[in-house]
Structure 1
Amino acid sequence: MIASLIKRLGEDTGVVLPEVRVTGDDPVFASVFRVDVAAAASVGAVTAAVAAYWTRRGGAPAVDPDVSVDVRHAAAAFQSERHFRIDGEKAVLWAPLSGDYRTADGWIRLHCNFDHHRDAALRALGLAVGAGRDDVAAACAGRTGIDVEEAVTREGGCAAAMRTRQEWLAHPQGRAVAELPLVGLSRFTASATPALGGAREAVDGAREAVDGPRPLSGVRVLDLTRVIAGPVAARILAAHGAEVLRVGAAHLPEVPGLVVETAFGKRSCHVDLRSEPEVLRDLVRQVDVVIQAHRPGALRERGFAPEDLAVLRPGIVCVDISAYGSRGPWAGRRGFDSLVQMVSGIAHENGDGSRPVPLPAQALDHATGFLAAFGAVAGLLRRTGEGGSWHAEVSLARTAAWLDDLGRSAGDAPEPRVDDLLAGMESEFGTLTYVRPPGRIRGAEPYWASAPPSPGGHRAEWATATGTG
């Protein structure tokens, strides 16, 4: 099943993938949903795409590279933030007010990890800044879930009422999501990609030989993302040798533990788009892939829509990650993994229906992250053969629909063993313990060449003198 899912992803995006050898068995997790299958398929897909790209560029030692994915390792990677340690200590992942609350007719989940989202939720509930969890629980108990969801959303916050699978499938956004491809990949129109000249013609036509010893050596990636899905996408590209520059801003909130855990192999800079838009434009002009997961429309408002990036950098691959997809009434709505689990019926079915029970991993985040990385490399593959600039789109909600389509599991697996999948690395934060990158290409094992840097610790410039174009 896993091998056929990987093959289908290749077919749907128009790329030919090498065969992937699957080792290990499912189930790995105690869940009614086949999270382990989604893990192995998404990891296997990006690994196969990287191997195909390496071969296309002339760097692979064989025409048919040996590609494999281990189900348990892929599943462990889906829980990477849970296994991550700094000097033996777990990272704090949830703020005090984040969580599930009973409502008059069911349950609501509030996402309060960022202060402005917390304050929006408190305003919507008529509570003062500084209110505690008991206050929030009392306020939610007197209102319906949909009422709280809509009130928090109007205030600019993030909330999700628990729905059944049937309710989501009948919802206008659920219907819109069902019409989207799992990984949408399309070529920009000619008007968005001017004709190239001079040395840059290499980007829009056949690729030159590999620039280094690793599959993605010489590929430059801008990581304009936060939290899990986007950073995971850029992190796995770094594990295969891409030069990844993570762009944040000093004024934007972060989840500290996640910032470190998802930054292996990357450099990090700060750019304030309110006052330094040209700095980002300069970076884009020299890039191969841009991964963004800002609030839908936020970058477009500042002149950094995918079409704008394709004009700045002909031959670019733009990857957009959203919560609910690019169509439907919720296309512009903020969202996170735990919220999509609630609205899509996953949290309802994973329990007994009386209270929400989350998946054993932030599976929508991680699967979407690996699928986004797959979309990026698929775009590079299409670029090498056909030229042009490419646009990949993924969403947490569409990934949730894919997980739903994978069928159901017995749900009685023991907690998976991970000790043999962990590694250690010294960093400026201390000694880090982490899950090694999953997926294998013989002769090009993925690894992170550097420890996570401090946020904004590098200059907003590329480390190497030249890119791949």
Structure 2
Amino acid sequence: MPSPDPAATLAALWRVTGLPEAALAQARLSGAEPVLPSSFAVGTAAQASLAASALAAAALWQQRTGRWQQVAVDMRHAIAEFRSERYLRVDGGPAPELWDKIAGAYRCGDGRWVRLHTNFLHHRDGVLRLLGCANQKDEVQAALGKWDAEAFETAASDAGLVVAAMRSFDEWDRHPQAAALRELPPVVIERIGDAPPMPLPDLPAQDARPLSGVRVLEFTRIIAGPVAGRTLAAHGADVLLVTAPHLPSIAPLVIDTGRGKRSCQLDLRDADDKHTLHKLLHGADVFLQGYRPGGLAALGFGPEAAARARPGIVYVSLSAYGHVGPWAGKRGFDSLVQTATGFNDAEARAAGSDAPRPLPAQVLDHAAGYLLAVGAMAALHRRATEGGSWHVRVSLAQTAQWLRGLGRIEEGLQAPDQRIDDISDLLEAVPSGFGMLTTVRHAAQLSETPARWEQPSVPLGSDAAEWLPRGGAR
């Protein structure tokens, strides 16, 4: 099988955005597959999606200054950033545990597999109630032995839980959700309202970056959405992460993806906090959200309501399975979408195994994160000249469809894994609100405005729910 062409992959992805074709001449891609043990083009996906996000920043820079700048991305560095949560160290030691003890794949009574995602306590407790067993892997396995895989997937989904039955590519292709997504690009950018053209604010005289003065309201958790916010922050945006005290979070992901952001807490069930969010929305350029489909809309902050309240808003939505089709409202995470859409089965077959084999990184999460950032910047670019309010949509399942379309890597599973000692040259030590962090540097190198995070990761709720002055945005 011929290896995928990273430059062609980037060019095809770039044309979806509607951004200037001239930007592609500024891209410098290095490295080659395979970079991790996988039969899929995970390195190409990492390099192309990350490079697209950096080129989008360069396009905004050109729009604001009249000058292009070069963007260089090495595949080895890109895939390391796609595993940033794995390499995180806190004060020289391991980060807090990421996975719950019963999360993972189990064989059901019909011989098929399901994958459970139980990292949030309410999801774990719901699965245990549905199974009627204790919080032990052997008891979970025994209980699932009484279920058919797809029947349990359906029962769990009906209960608002996150479970996926393992399918082959052929089985997924016959599923109505796959049919609904088939014609969708990896990023959907739609105009949803009228507003006059809004060029980005004049760049400050010193220390200007592509997104200086841009304000981003972020409502996300886990990896994909937070990676998008982290990327926008790396190019100078003032990113304000909004959470609520009653919502669960996963400590190592908060630490890793919190770089470059301020963090406040608002409970949208409270009238005063809701009013505060309305004030923040009026000053925002981008509203980035990754909560369950319809969740924020039910609280009055869906895309149409945001566009009415703040004409010119760029509303960016992440979902698990897409915004169309019978699974449009279904919850999910990277590991589950990998399982449902055929990747775990295909990777297992390539390895000569019948047990589910996950990809060697949360590729769907990280790629979707960069695609969200690309879409946000593409919409800002169009808003500056065309005006309008915009809705950007990305889903993990669309991202999976894109990754699958990149082809397979012959002998890819023979590649060595990438250990933290192998990438020591790509790491940096930075102080934070959690201690001294060891993290992966941003993989995209911009020739005039190096990507960086000036705001350290901080505990949730550390900041006031207010914007910085436009001139002070990073």
TM-score, length basis structure 1: 0.94
1:330 correspondence with 2:327: yes
Identity, % of aligned positions: 47
For 2:257, the equivalent position in structure 1 comes to 262
Give the conservation status (yes or no) of the 8 Å contact 2:213–2:470: no
* Structure 2 counterpart of 1:414, from 401, 413, 416: 416
Give the conservation status (yes or no) of the 8 Å contact 2:88–2:439: yes
Pairs within 5 Å for 1:362-401: 362-401=362-401
Residue 21 of structure 1: SS of its match in structure 2? strand
For 1:342, the equivalent position in structure 2 comes to 339
For 1:95, the equivalent position in structure 2 comes to 100
* Structure 2 counterpart of 1:428, from 418, 430, 433: 433
1:57 correspondence with 2:64: yes
> How far 1:75 moved relative to its partner?
0.5
> How far 1:254 moved relative to its partner?
0.5
> How far 1:189 moved relative to its partner?
3.4
For 1:42, the equivalent position in structure 2 comes to 49
Give the conservation status (yes or no) of the 8 Å contact 1:107–1:356: yes
For 1:441, the equivalent position in structure 2 comes to 446
For 1:209, the equivalent position in structure 2 comes to 202
1:402 correspondence with 2:407: no
Letter in 2 for 1:209: D
* Structure 2 counterpart of 1:292, from 286, 289, 292: 289
- CA distance, structure 2, for counterparts of residue 136 and residue 24 of structure 1: 43
- For residues 179-203 of structure 1, the C-alpha deviation after alignment (integer angstroms, 9 at most, x for no partner) is 222100011133xx5xx6xxxxxxx
* Structure 1 counterpart of 2:278, from 247, 259, 281: 281
> How far 1:466 moved relative to its partner?
6.4
For 1:114, the equivalent position in structure 2 comes to 120
- For residues 389-426 of structure 1, the C-alpha deviation after alignment (integer angstroms, 9 at most, x for no partner) is 11110000010011111000121222233111000011
Letter in 2 for 1:343: A
Give the conservation status (yes or no) of the 8 Å contact 1:235–1:266: yes
Letter in 2 for 1:239: A
Structure 2 unmatched runs, 5+: none
> How far 1:13 moved relative to its partner?
2.1
Give the conservation status (yes or no) of the 8 Å contact 1:341–1:347: yes
Give the conservation status (yes or no) of the 8 Å contact 2:200–2:213: no
* Structure 2 counterpart of 1:9, from 9, 13, 30: 13
Residue 241 of structure 1: SS of its match in structure 2? coil
Residue 431 of structure 2: SS of its match in structure 1? strand
- CA distance, structure 2, for counterparts of residue 206 and residue 342 of structure 1: 43
Give the conservation status (yes or no) of the 8 Å contact 1:149–1:160: yes
Point out 4+ residue stretches in structure 1 off by more than 6 angstroms.
none
TM-score, length basis structure 2: 0.93
Distance 1:76 1:368, change over 3 A: same
> How far 1:208 moved relative to its partner?
4.5
- For residues 230-273 of structure 1, the C-alpha deviation after alignment (integer angstroms, 9 at most, x for no partner) is 00000011111111100001100001111111100100000101
> How far 1:284 moved relative to its partner?
0.8
Letter in 1 for 2:391: H
For 1:359, the equivalent position in structure 2 comes to 359
Residue 185 of structure 1: SS of its match in structure 2? strand
1:185 correspondence with 2:189: yes
- CA distance, structure 2, for counterparts of residue 206 and residue 238 of structure 1: 19
Give the conservation status (yes or no) of the 8 Å contact 2:200–2:214: no
Alignment RMSD (CA, Å): 1.5
